[in-house]
Structure 1
Amino acid sequence: MSIQRMRPMTVGELSRRTGVRVKTLREYTDLGLIYTLGRSPANYRLFTTDALWYVHQIGELRGLGLTVAEIRELATTWLDGADQASGARLAELLHRSRERLERRIAGQQQTLRRIEEFEAVHRADLAVGDFCFSDGPRGGVDA
């Protein structure tokens, strides 16, 4: 075992090594997603290098669209010793994430269509660079 592996890290060092904000790492610790060795004499949270792996895995799952609550649920399933159940649960959570993403994409596509329609209707006004909403008040609120 290397000396580096045995030397605990503070939350600040873990943050520097992972690129994850200290506040986020504290949240992960409070939620039980990463574990500390305890605290230093100066009351800093101390982590083993294993925390680097956990933070990386959390980042991977977040990058796949899972929420922190979902990751916590998955970690609880895994810690309860249900390895096969955790795989099935991850599949369910990935499906849920895909559905959320598809809804967001559909919403963004709708906004894109609205922009295209607006541009088509107001193409001449937009071309001269002097567009205003002529049917409403200019520079104030109707009294």
Structure 2
Amino acid sequence: MPREAHKSRPMTVGELSRRTGVKVKALRGYTDSGLIYTLGRSQAGYRLYDTDALWCVRFIGELRGLGLTVAEIRELTAAWADGRVRPVGSHLAELLHRSRERLRERIAAQQQILDRIEKFESEHQQHLADGDLCWAGDPRGCDARA
């Protein structure tokens, strides 16, 4: 089908969801946030989108895959739409830096959990191997099992 003919045929949110793999609820949220524009609504009240919405959803997915939040994506697109003095590229660079720092913090927190697991296993290696691990203060009474 020629691109012009395909572009003129509006899609419902369900079709946009099928074509992008993004859940309808997320698409509605993106639309309500102003990240995806609609052509309006059908006579039956369905949101209608053109093929530009496909690009928008893919772009949002790419940025989400880089760790940006929906609020940050909204901030970036607002900066672009407003034509602010600050270039969008530098704004994106700052958002990517924020995302990287959040990710590093999450990795550090997960590493702390791994360290605690290793310490626990090391301290209780024999009890874990024997299947007999009692917790201090266990109301079931470890002493009664000994």
How does the TM-score come out when normalised to structure 1?
Answer: 0.92
1:32 — aligned with what? Answer: 34
Question: Any residues of structure 2 matched to 1:53-132 within 5 Å, and which?
Answer: 53-82=55-84, 85-132=87-134
- What is residue 144 of structure 2 aligned with on the other side? none
SS of residue paired to 2:105: helix
- How many residue pairs align between the two structures? 139
Shift of 1:89: 0.5
Unaligned runs of 5+ in 2: 142-146
Match of 1:15 among 14, 17, 29: 17
* CA gap 1:19/1:77 in 2 versus in 1, 3 angstroms: same
Provide the C-alpha distance between the structure 1 equivalents of 2:134 and 2:13, rounded to a whole number of angstroms.
52
Q: Any idea what SS the aligned residue of 2:48 has?
A: strand
Q: What SS does the aligned partner of 1:125 have? A: helix
**Partner amino acid, structure 1, of 2:4:** S
- How far apart in 2 are the matches of 1:71 and 1:65? 10
Take 2:38 and 2:94, find their aligned partners in 1: how far apart are those partners?
Answer: 29
Q: Between the two proteins, what is the percent identity of the paired residues? A: 68
Q: Deviations over 1:15-69 (max 9, x none)?
A: 1111111111011001000000000010000000110110001011011110100
Q: CA separation in 1, counterparts of 2:26 and 2:85?
A: 27
Q: Which amino acid aligns with 1:77?
A: A
Rounded Cα–Cα distance in structure 2 between residues aligned with 1:41 and 1:77: 34
Measured after TM superposition, the shift of residue 102 of structure 1 is: 0.4
| Separation in structure 2 between the aligned mates of residue 131 and residue 13 of structure 1, nearest angstrom | 55
Residue equivalent to 2:43: 41
CA RMSD across the alignment: 1.5
Q: CA deviation at 1:82?
A: 4.0
The one-letter amino acid paired with 1:32 is G
Shift of 1:5: 1.6
Query: 2-side partners of 1:119 and 1:47: how far apart?
Result: 55
Unaligned runs of 5+ in 1: none
Q: 2:31 and 2:43 mapped to 1: Cα distance?
A: 19
